[in-house]
Amino acid sequence: DAGVIQSPRHEVTEMGQEVTLRCKPISGHDYLFWYRQTMMRGLELLIYFNNNVPIDDSGMPEDRFSAKMPNASFSTLKIQPSEPRDSAVYFCASSRKTGVSNQPQHFGDGTRLSIL
Amino acid sequence: GDSVTQMEGPVTLSEEAFLTINCTYTATGYPSLFWYVQYPGEGLQLLLKATKADDKGSNKGFEATYRKETTSFHLEKGSVQVSDSAVYFCALSDPAETSGSRLTFGEGTQLTVNP
């Protein structure tokens, strides 16, 4: 089975530009998570969805960040306008919940974002 | 709220040395516990998990036992290899939370194994 697929793998853009990161979760998974990883702050949960509905976006840094999940097989994380401090690796992960058991999250390979 | 505390890194070992990375947690419910590994330039991969007290998760020579009495889930390996060099994350998922499958991660521990 294909894992979580993220695109692009690398993105370099200038400050002020709009950035869109994409994620395709594993088929059948009903949870989708967006994380940001930096040396300074480690791994941070930005937002997560359940059945395409945003459940908790308290980790989104500010209004410049937005995330959508228009269907079960696709999600985007958008930064507009981008700033140098947004430079990080952004991960998408998906999982499913069966009964009362929490199944492990499966991570994509990440998008390495550099804002100049 | 839930939290996970890992031993501070980085950890540097010689090949074939014994590895322990400590992990303790606090949770409101009865959590599932996980160890994830992140190799350079890659995403996190599930290494092992345990879902109830006294369960032992194991994979690739790594082991961790769910200790409810000490709220711990320490990662161990008897003989590390250079290829084990990576960042290791302890995490929990608390079904008591309305957040469902949300994971709470520790800070991560960088392991370097020298030949």
Q: What would the pLDDT profile of B3-41 be if each residue is shown by its tens digit?
A: 999 988 899 999 999 999 999 999 887 888 999 999 988
pLDDT reported for residue B16:
96
Give the count of Cβ contacts less than 8 A between chain A and B. Answer: 57
* Tokens (6 digits) for A25: 């979760």
Residues B47, B44: Cα–Cα separation, whole Å = 9
Work out the average pLDDT over A76-91.
97
Res B99: pLDDT? 53
pLDDT over threshold 60, residue A111: yes
Report chain B residues touching chain A, CB-CB < 8 A: 32, 34, 36, 41-46, 49, 51, 89, 93, 95, 99-103, 105, 107-108
Half-sphere exposure of B76 (CA within 13 A, CB side): 11
B100: pLDDT strictly greater than 60: no
Instruction: Express each pLDDT in B56-83 by its tens digit.
Output: 999 999 999 999 999 999 999 999 999 9
- The token duo for A34 is 């967006």
DSSP code at position A52: T
Contact B23, B90 (CB under 8 A): yes
More confident residue, A88 or B31: A88
Would you call the peptide bond into A8 cis, given omega within 30 degrees of 0 as the criterion?
A: yes
Residue in B closest to A42 by C-alpha: B107
pLDDT score, position A102: 61
Burial of B51 (0-12, 13-18, 19+ CB in 10 A): middle
How many beta carbons lie within 10 A of that of residue B90, not counting itself?
29
B96 band by pLDDT with thresholds 50, 70 and 90: low
Average pLDDT, chain A: 92
Q: Give me B52's structure tokens.
A: 């109830």
